[in-house]
Amino acid sequence: MDRRERYNDDEETLRIALHAFQTRLWTSLPGIVDSFDPEKMTVNVQPTIDGQERDNQGNVKAFRNHRRGE
């Protein structure tokens, strides 16, 4: 139990919830550019790390870097 849960403080409760959300938010990750379209300004990128993601039902799925060893 987090000691902050003992206090009846709405602002602290919101702060805890936002911090939990931010820990799951990825703002960047390393990758290898597969292709770039300068007219549409789009890029296809292959992530270069292994990781896990959770679906809406709470199931965890591992994903792997398929280019490892190249």
Decide if 32 contacts 67 (C-beta within 8 A): yes
- Count of structural domains within the chain: 1
Per-residue pLDDT of the chain (70 residues; tens, 9 = 90+): 566 566 678 888 888 889 988 888 878 888 899 999 999 999 999 888 887 878 888 898 887 775 554 4
The reported pLDDT for the residue numbered 67 is 56
42 within domain boundaries = yes
70 within domain boundaries = no
28 within domain boundaries = yes
**For the chain, the helix, strand and coil percentages under 3-state DSSP, each to the nearest 5:** 25, 30, 45
Q: Which domain holds residue 51?
A: 3-63
Cut 0.75: pTM above it: no
36 within domain boundaries = yes
The reported pLDDT for the residue numbered 61 is 85
